[in-house]
Amino acid sequence: MSCVVCGDTRAPSEVADVSSNVRAFRDETFAVWRCAGCRSIHARDEVDLAHYYACYPMHGDGGGAAMRAFFGVQRRRLRAAGLADGANVLDYGCGAGAFVRYLETARVQATGYDAYAQAFADRGALARSYDAVVVQDVIEHVADPNALLVELDALVRPGGLVLIGTPDADAIDLSRVRRFTHALHAPYHRHILPRDELVRRGEGVGWSLVRVYRSHYANTAQPFLNARFVHHYLRSRDNTLDAALDPPRLGLRLLIDPRTYVFGLFGALAPPREDICAVFRKPTATAP
């Protein structure tokens, strides 16, 4: 096996079988392996992704009050990096477009693109350039992460921003795959990069690193709207991604568990470290 990220051809340092965290496919398992060189995690086998995306829960509306609170975190990360009101932003891999609609209400010119979402599959969106490109939970889905970075570089204007949110392969323990079922997200996640490798690849394209956040954007200070509580809530249900989008249901198991209240009120202070968000800036001019 050859690593598509770094090219290493040695035997994997780890292998594991992972169950899907999507309800329609929860009885299926998929093999993954870790590169001995860069420590990226890869899906071993090719699958019919169109088949799996046809039942993808994240292609639902996803525009409720909780998601708007989470989107606010993403918006603040862009503003902290210098994105101005009225900027032109592409949400690359936008799903049903919930973040696009949120940005439109926040004085941002937003465009969405997603090859697996019919409403946003028009590649005309990729023929323009943008002040910022948001790539949340995408790079781990594509067949060639390095090629994606080159494509993103062509989409962002000089001086513009690229925000990449993704799991951190170094935070995933393949000897405890049940603990990391959502970060592994089989079979949709094809190649998961470690934090340092993602930064190295971004800088290799020519970008400068603005900041790395060590938590998913779904982590707010509002009670019960943080990543730690979300993980706890999913485990109290069937631990599928679908459960996050089902109507809320507080069963007895959840109500009598003291962790429900500790995580709900204070979970934002200790978010899971499985996800990162790297914000890069493209140089304003190409060096001679």
Dihedral angle over CA of 123, 126, 127, 129, nearest 10? 160
Question: How confident is the model over 11-41, as pLDDT tens digits?
Answer: 999 999 999 999 999 999 999 999 999 999 9
Helix count and strand count (H, E) for the chain: 9, 10
pTM of the model: 0.94
**Sequence-distant (≥ 6) Cβ neighbours of residue 274 within 8 angstroms:** 167, 168, 171, 172, 180, 182, 183, 216
Q: Which residue has the higher pLDDT, 204 or 66?
A: 204
Checking if the pLDDT of 138 tops 60, the result is: yes
Residues 6+ apart with CB under 8 A from 241: 21, 22, 23, 57, 58, 182, 185, 234
Provide the pLDDT for residue 245: 84
Domains of the chain: 57-281 (3.40.50.150)
Q: What is the mean pLDDT of residues 176-180?
A: 94
Residue 281 has pLDDT above 60, yes or no: yes
pLDDT of residue 250: 82
Which of the four pLDDT bands, split at 50, 70 and 90, describes residue 1? confident
pLDDT digits (tens, 9 = 90+) for 119-130: 999 999 999 999
| pLDDT at 216 exceeding the cut of 80 | yes
pLDDT at 140 over 90: yes
- Which pLDDT does position 235 carry in this prediction? 93
Question: CA–CA distance from 171 to each of 158, 174, 184, 255 (Å)?
Answer: 32, 10, 11, 30
288: pLDDT strictly greater than 60: no
Q: pLDDT tens digits, residue range 223-275?
A: 999 999 999 999 999 999 999 888 888 888 899 999 999 999 999 999 999 99
Say whether pLDDT at 62 is over 90: no
What mean pLDDT do residues 83-111 have?
A: 93
